[in-house]
Amino acid sequence: MVELKDKTMIGKKAEDIMIPIERYPNIFEDLTLRQAMAEFEHAYLNIDGEMSLPRALLVIDKDFNLIGIVRRRDILQGLEPDFMKHIPHHHQKELIDIEGDPNLVILSSGKVIKTMHAHADHMCIADIMQPVTDKIQYNDHIAKIIYMMTRKDLNLLPVMKKRRIIGVVRSVDVFHEVAHLLLD
C-alpha cells in the first residue's frame, strides 16, 4: 500500500493552481505575426517571485473574450513560406540540408527570408492561433485536469467560473503539484 506523505494535493482544485487571467500575457487577435513576436519577446510570468517564460500567449477579441492560444511554434509555422507547406517533410529537409550542399541553403535563404518578412507583416494571429475548445471549471479536481491535459495533449487549460474565464492552469504547475506529492 502506498502511503501519501502530503495529503494537500488530494483536495487541489483548478483555482488553487491556476494563474489569474489578469496576470497571464495576452494579445489581440488582429495583431500581425511581427507584433505577436515582439510581445512574446517581452512576455514574462511572475510565479511566486520567480520569472518564467510563457509557452503561449492568450488571444483575445475586441470584447476581451478569450478566443485562442498562440504558441511560438504556431508563429514559426505561420512564417513558413507557402511553397514549403505543401512539400512532404522529408523533402523539406532536403531543401535545407546544409550537409548535402551548403550553397542550396544560401541560394534559397533570400527568398525564404523575404517571404517570412511578408508573412510577419500581413498575417494576423487569428489566422494561426489554436482556438480554445477545452476548458475546466474553477472547482474541478486536479485529477480531472491531469486527465484532460494528457488525453488531449494540452499544456494550458482555461479556468471558468460562472461562464467567465478567470485563469489558466499550465501543465508545468500540475506537474509541480504531482512531483511535490511523490518526491517529498
Which residue from 119, 105, 108 is spatially nearest to 74, judged by alpha carbons? 119
Task: Output the pLDDT for position 6.
Answer: 46
Which residue from 154, 153, 155, 161 is spatially nearest to 136, judged by alpha carbons? 161
Question: Which set of grid coordinates corresponds to residue 158?
Answer: 482555461
Which domains, and CATH codes, for the chain? 7-75+124-183 (3.10.580.10)
178, 6 contact by CB (below 8 A): no
Task: Output the pLDDT for position 5.
Answer: 46
Task: Output the pLDDT for position 26.
Answer: 93
Q: What is the pTM of this model?
A: 0.76
Question: Which set of grid coordinates corresponds to residue 15?
Answer: 483555482
45, 51 contact by CB (below 8 A): yes
pLDDT tens per residue across all 184 residues of the chain: 344 444 455 679 999 999 999 899 999 999 999 999 999 999 999 888 888 889 899 999 998 889 999 999 999 889 887 766 665 655 555 555 545 555 555 545 677 788 888 888 889 999 999 999 999 999 999 999 999 999 999 999 999 999 889 999 999 999 999 998 888 7
Which residue from 16, 72, 22, 65 is spatially nearest to 46, judged by alpha carbons? 22
The C-alpha atoms of residue 108 and residue 146 are separated, in whole angstroms, by: 44
The C-alpha atoms of residue 164 and residue 65 are separated, in whole angstroms, by: 9
